[in-house]
Amino acid sequence: MNDKTLTAQVAILRAKMREWKRIQTERKMRKMAEDQDKKISVWSEYTDEDKLAVDKLAAGYIDFISRCKTERESVNEAVKRARAVGYRNLDDVISRGERLKPGDKVYAVCMKKTVALFQIGTEPIERGMKILGAHVDTCRLDLKQNPLYEDSGLAYMDTHYYGGIKKYQWVTLPLAMHGVVVKKDGRVIDIVIGEEEGDPVFCVTDLLIHLSQEQMKKTADKVIEGEKLDILVGNYPLKEGDKESVKRGVLKLLKDKYDIEEDDFLSAELALVPAGKARELGFDRSMVLGYGQDDRVCSYTSLIAMLDAANQTFGKTACCLLVDKEEIGSFGATGMKSRFFANTVAELLNACGQYSELAVRRALKNSFMLSSDVSSAFDALYAAAYEKRNVAYLGKGMVFNKFTGSRGKSGSSDANAEYVGKLRAILDKHNVHYQFSELGKVDLGGGGTIAYMMAEYGMEVIDSGVAVLSMHAPWEATSKVDIYETFKGYRAFLKEI
């Protein structure tokens, strides 16, 4: 055998070895995916008592997201519930010059859209806090400041969509109007139209299929354009034949019922959201279908976990932070990028007699946080978007995302391994079912939360929450057991950290 023949045979052998290794790797990956599919559902481990607790929490949650569809409504509900268990307004404490002590409970609100609840612990605050942080804003259609117009006998209101949506999902849905109109004299008029049985609703119209040949050739992001998301609000003319009579008829109704005039829209915040209550989903009622579950499913469980601990004694000061503007980058005075939280911590330290600039920095640096936000749930109808070993599954417990971001972890806050190990020990101790996930395949997409902004203080942060199907759609789906396990996880975090 000459050298050339031997070299050729070696090359063939190496190629066969590479192919064998590839086949073995694929088999191993398939088995891991199959094992993940066979992972026991949390339901199968529940007692009858557990199931009653699940349904009780789910009923409260369904009621919450059915009534609280804007950040203002969510914050108002949080304050109402907090006051019922002994929380006081931090501004009142400051104005009276009172000194806070361990066990005291206070809250601070920013522009009625963000709220922070604190329960003072026995340790100095500069040793760090334990923070549950979620957001209460959701994707929606906002009215523009000059919204009302008439065209061809139909009255419309012009909108500007808020957050990341598939615009085509918002056509022909019954929509309710929520928000406030502020008059020049300072009066605030609360608006909720479309939620009660006898209320009218609104909608974005769509082109009939018979005439949509050209429309159907467009890509999904162009089928419905942002400027076409105007809502239909009227067709009844105030006086037949008059110019803009339908528009004037709408204005008369608004004036008669709400004392709202056309220029009052300049100082209004009005949103269009899917009308109707959240519902139990499935023959077995195991899931929840509702609007705005990203991220009200985590804001609700965080809030309830915090209020559930109202009579406990903590070492570290506990905090539940519910913020606005996450869906559009956390900008503005009520977003996480504002100084609201750091300023409030400074005021809290001062009210406890512990203030210094260094104490504020230490308090933030030494804190532990669960960035309470949702994750994508595996959907078998769109399996190609997920990597099955690293995705959350409905019904398999609380979800942790060690990092979010996109592609090469761009824009992510990657949690510290030591912190993850600490949390695993806590969750196992309290029998909390949990899973770890990524937001889809590596090169496919991604997303972000408030985690990286809090991590900038130097604190330990990780994203944790509930898996959601159809995230950012007008109606989203979650599992009741995942909601309950997440509540248990937040409660264990507050108890043990």
pLDDT tens digits along 129-144: 999 999 999 999 999 9
150 and 240 share one domain: yes
pLDDT of residue 166 exceeding 90, the answer is yes
Q: Count of CB atoms within 10 A of residue 183's CB?
A: 14
Confidence of residue 66 (pLDDT cuts 50, 70, 90): very high
pLDDT of residue 23 exceeding 80, the answer is no
CATH number for the domain spanning 61: value is 3.40.630.10
High-pLDDT (> 90) share of the chain, %: 86
Q: How far apart are CA 458 and CA 419, in angstroms?
A: 13
Q: Which residue has the tokens 């005439």?
A: 211
94 and 150 share one domain: no
Query: Would residue 309 count as lying in a domain?
Result: yes
Q: Count of CB atoms within 10 A of residue 112's CB?
A: 17
Query: Would residue 34 count as lying in a domain?
Result: no
H or E element, residue 496? helix 480-496
Query: Would residue 285 count as lying in a domain?
Result: no
Domain count, the chain: 2
Query: Would residue 201 count as lying in a domain?
Result: yes
High-pLDDT (> 70) share of the chain, %: 95
84 and 118 share one domain: yes
CATH number for the domain spanning 205: value is 2.30.250.10
Q: Give the pLDDT score at 37.
A: 53
Confidence of residue 40 (pLDDT cuts 50, 70, 90): confident
Query: Would residue 286 count as lying in a domain?
Result: no
pLDDT of residue 190 exceeding 70, the answer is yes
Q: Which residue has the tokens 């609703």?
A: 201
Query: Would residue 9 count as lying in a domain?
Result: no
268 and 391 share one domain: no
206 and 146 share one domain: yes
| Of 378, 341, 331, residue with least CA distance to 107 | 341
356 and 458 share one domain: yes
Q: Summarize the confidence of residues 103-109 as an average pLDDT.
A: 98
Confidence of residue 28 (pLDDT cuts 50, 70, 90): low
Confidence of residue 406 (pLDDT cuts 50, 70, 90): confident
- Yes or no: say if 323 and 450 are a contact pair by the CB < 8 Å rule: yes
342 and 491 share one domain: yes
Q: Summarize the confidence of residues 75-101 as an average pLDDT.
A: 98
- Yes or no: say if 307 and 71 are a contact pair by the CB < 8 Å rule: no
Q: How far apart are CA 336 and CA 133, in angstroms?
A: 10
194 and 214 share one domain: yes
Q: Give the pLDDT score at 6.
A: 65
Q: Summarize the confidence of residues 275-296 as an average pLDDT.
A: 97
486 and 346 share one domain: yes
Residues 6+ apart with CB under 8 A from 182: 188, 189, 264, 267, 268
Query: Would residue 26 count as lying in a domain?
Result: no
157 and 250 share one domain: yes
Q: How far apart are CA 335 and CA 341, in angstroms?
A: 10
Q: Give the pLDDT score at 128.
A: 98
Residues 6+ apart with CB under 8 A from 293: 65, 374, 466, 468, 476, 477, 478
Q: How far apart are CA 236 and CA 246, in angstroms?
A: 5
DSSP E strands: which ranges in 22-121? Answer: 88-89, 105-110, 114-119
pLDDT tens digits along 342-389: 999 999 999 999 999 999 999 999 999 999 999 999 999 999 999 999
Q: Give the pLDDT score at 173.
A: 97
For the chain, helix (H) and strand (E) counts, in that order, are 12, 22
116 and 152 share one domain: no
Q: How far apart are CA 163 and CA 472, in angstroms?
A: 8
Confidence of residue 478 (pLDDT cuts 50, 70, 90): very high
pLDDT of residue 271 exceeding 90, the answer is yes
Query: Would residue 5 count as lying in a domain?
Result: no
The arrangement of strands across the sheet holding 476-479 comes to 279-281, 287-290, 476-479
Q: How far apart are CA 172 and CA 252, in angstroms?
A: 26
pTM higher than the cut 0.75: yes
Looking at 274, 299, 329, which one is the last position of a domain?
274
Least confident window among 239-243, 258-262, 350-354, 358-362: 239-243
69 and 104 share one domain: yes
Domain range spanning residue 395? 44-138+291-496
